[in-house]
Amino acid sequence: MLPDRVLIVEVGPRDGLQNESTPVATEVKLQFVRRLVDAGLSQIEVTSFVNPKRVPQLADAPELIAKLPNAADVTFSALVPNEKGLDRAIESGVKRIAVFTAASETFTQKNIGMSIDESMTSFASIVKRATGAGLSVRGYVSTCFVCPYEGEIEKERVRDVTARLLDTGVDEVAISDTIGAAAPTDVRETVGFVLENIPAEKIALHFHDTYGTALANVVAGLELGVATFDASAGGLGGCPFAPGAAGNLATEDLVYLLDRMNIRTGLAGQSDVDLAKVVDAASIIANALNRPLPSAQWRRMHGSCAGDGA
């Protein structure tokens, strides 16, 4: 039994841009976000309050948030790594934040310089303060299937970290395939296991499309009853000059799949997400980076695929 309706969490402005070394002007990002809103996306992760020295691309987070369009039905969110980031987020006026840890101890250490236990202690305090300030909070768990350092990740670790994050007070956990290695069998095993204890309404799935399996994984998630999926317009999110890196599942490819499966993508009573307008939004970034994008829709519309010709 598939869900009738899916919520697409658009992460392109944050996850899609954070690894881009070419600076993208705030006004261009705003144009991107405005078009995403116009396309009917109702949850958009727009930026991150990580240390601007670590991610200069997103150093304009406060300015960006100040200039976001007025859109009553749209929730904008920002990533928050620590207390200092939360100070900046609260000051910016953003209404939703996201915290992030991982199911792999090594990845957590390398990514945020803490153990998983330490990250939980840190986030418990951040989530409490954020919700006290009227913000809602989502949590990410990275490397839920395969870790680039540790290899295969046990499903028990994913369940435990997910449960602990929910205990801190986040309203949703995005189980993430950070390197895009999972197949539908992995989704069934790991996410199916998590869902034995945790309601599907609390779970989002976040896939990268490194090996082309992201849509197949979405279908496995739908079949488990999950109805929230992260995606990035254009399939932004890889580092195009680093072999091995690949982008998020492309929003337009997800929209094609869901449309074809007769699953609604708009909020109740509103139109579905408009595929062509998502591609139109992504083209803002393609132009800014002077580079084509990896989504199937983009390839279909603009000719075949690339990289170098070797």
Least spacing, CB of residue 30 vs a second copy, in Å:
21
3-state DSSP assignment of residue 284: helix
Output the DSSP codes for 36-97.
HHHTT--EEEEEE-S-TTT-GGGTTHHHHHHTPPP-TT-EEEEE--SHHHHHHHHHHT-SEE
Binding flag, residue 248, a second copy (CB under 8 A): no
Binding flag, residue 195, a second copy (CB under 8 A): no
Least spacing, CB of residue 7 vs a second copy, in Å:
19
Residue numbers annotated as active site: 239
What residues between 169 and 188 interact with a second copy by CB under 8 A?
Answer: 181-186
> Closest CB to a second copy among 173 and 284?
284
Q: Would residue 271 be called left, alpha or beta, if left means φ above 0 and alpha means ψ between -120 and 50 degrees?
A: beta
Distances (CA, A) of 218 to 33, 214, 247, 292: 24, 6, 15, 24
> Closest CB to a second copy among 70 and 290?
290
Binding flag, residue 307, a second copy (CB under 8 A): yes
Least spacing, CB of residue 259 vs a second copy, in Å:
9
Binding flag, residue 261, a second copy (CB under 8 A): yes
Least spacing, CB of residue 177 vs a second copy, in Å:
11
Q: How far apart are CA 220 and CA 26, in angstroms?
A: 37
* Segment interacting with a second copy (CB under 8 A) among 28-36, 131-139, 163-171, 207-215: 207-215
Token output for 277: 């307008």
Binding flag, residue 215, a second copy (CB under 8 A): yes
Least spacing, CB of residue 33 vs a second copy, in Å:
20
Q: How far apart are CA 131 and CA 97, in angstroms?
A: 10
> Closest CB to a second copy among 71 and 263?
263
* Segment interacting with a second copy (CB under 8 A) among 33-41, 81-89, 121-129, 254-262: 254-262
Binding flag, residue 143, a second copy (CB under 8 A): no
Describe the chain by its helix, strand, coil percentages, rounded to 5: 45, 15, 40
Question: Which helix (H) or strand (E) segment is 260 a member of?
Answer: helix 251-260
Binding flag, residue 291, a second copy (CB under 8 A): yes
Q: How far apart are CA 36 and CA 19, in angstroms?
A: 20
Q: How far apart are CA 62 and CA 78, in angstroms?
A: 10
The secondary structure of residue 230, as a DSSP letter, is E
Binding flag, residue 151, a second copy (CB under 8 A): no
Binding flag, residue 279, a second copy (CB under 8 A): no
Q: Would residue 112 be called left, alpha or beta, if left means φ above 0 and alpha means ψ between -120 and 50 degrees?
A: alpha
Binding flag, residue 95, a second copy (CB under 8 A): no
Least spacing, CB of residue 226 vs a second copy, in Å:
15
Please select the residue that binds a second copy; options are 134, 199, 269, 309, rule is CB under 8 A. Answer: 309
User: Which residues contribute to the site for a second copy (CB under 8 A)?
Assistant: 2, 181-186, 209-213, 215-216, 218-220, 235, 238-244, 246-247, 250, 253, 256-257, 260-262, 283, 286-287, 290-310
